[in-house]
Amino acid sequence: MKGAVKEVLDAHERLLIDQAIAKHGNRPGALLGILEAVQSANAHKYLSMVSLRYIADETGVPPARIYSAATFYALFNLDPQGDNVVCVCRGTACHTRGSRDLLEKLCLDLGLSEHEAGETGEADKLALTTPDHKFTVRTVACFGQCALAPVVEVNHHILSHVNERTLQREVKALTKNGGGGK
């Protein structure tokens, strides 16, 4: 199996993973550091199943434990992310101040179908990427910035008291600037 996985990963990906493993070694929390480094180095900021299997092979950590860590922590992505990530808070304060409408309008503006956006319940995590991979729209249960509601994060920059016009302006600026937010 080890050889089969190495054939699927290109030499550059293997080198990046090997470097992350060497850097973090067997220290406590090493797995999280390795996963974070591998995801950060990926052009689409995600962990592929092939890379997770390779990490398991090289570290001796059971694949189930690696997958469990990658799915438990919200910072890890198992699907390719867009060039720009817009994250809408769905916490109670943000919800009562219109975050659901912001989310629906954002999805509409980016051409993400209502069917896709409606596939998850209000309490569930949402992560949709536009077909051109320019934008990923995500939700979070709460940013902990309730006094600033509604809160939206655009490429790791928190925006407070967001309304539809502000969000449209942010997305339009990213589109005009070539869409590269990371």
Domain encompassing residue 134: 84-176
Residue 93: what pLDDT?
96
pTM of the model: 0.73
Statement to judge: residues 110 and 165 lie in one domain: yes
| pLDDT digit string, tens, across residues 46-105 | 999 999 999 999 999 999 999 999 998 878 999 999 999 999 999 999 999 999 999 999
Statement to judge: residues 97 and 168 lie in one domain: yes
Statement to judge: residues 27 and 89 lie in one domain: no
Residue 29: what pLDDT?
84
Residue 3: what pLDDT?
47
Helices (H), the chain: 2-8, 11-24, 30-41, 49-59, 63-72, 92-96, 99-109, 114-117, 164-176
What is the chain's mean pLDDT, rounded? 87
Domain boundary among 21, 38, 72: 72
DSSP-derived secondary structure letter, 155: T
For the chain, give the percent of residues with pLDDT over 90: 69
Cβ-based neighbour number of residue 3 at 10 Å: 7
Statement to judge: residues 23 and 67 lie in one domain: yes
Packed helices 164-176 and 99-109: angle between N→C axes, nearest 10 degrees: 30
Statement to judge: residues 96 and 153 lie in one domain: yes
Statement to judge: residues 62 and 88 lie in one domain: no
Place of tokens 């470097």: 19
Domain boundary among 72, 107, 129: 72
Statement to judge: residues 17 and 89 lie in one domain: no
Q: Do the Cβ atoms of 162 and 178 come closer than 8 Å? A: no
Cβ-based neighbour number of residue 104 at 10 Å: 16
Q: What is the DSSP string of 68-81?
A: HHHHHSTT--SSPP
Taking the mean position of all CA atoms in its chain, how far away is CA 84? Answer: 10
Statement to judge: residues 39 and 66 lie in one domain: yes
Domain boundary among 19, 43, 72: 72
| pLDDT digit string, tens, across residues 149-162 | 999 999 989 999 99
Statement to judge: residues 53 and 91 lie in one domain: no
| pLDDT digit string, tens, across residues 10-51 | 889 999 999 999 999 878 789 999 999 999 999 889 999 999
Q: How far is CA 46 from CA 26, 68, 77, 78, 91, in A?
A: 23, 15, 5, 5, 25
Statement to judge: residues 102 and 134 lie in one domain: yes
Cβ-based neighbour number of residue 64 at 10 Å: 9
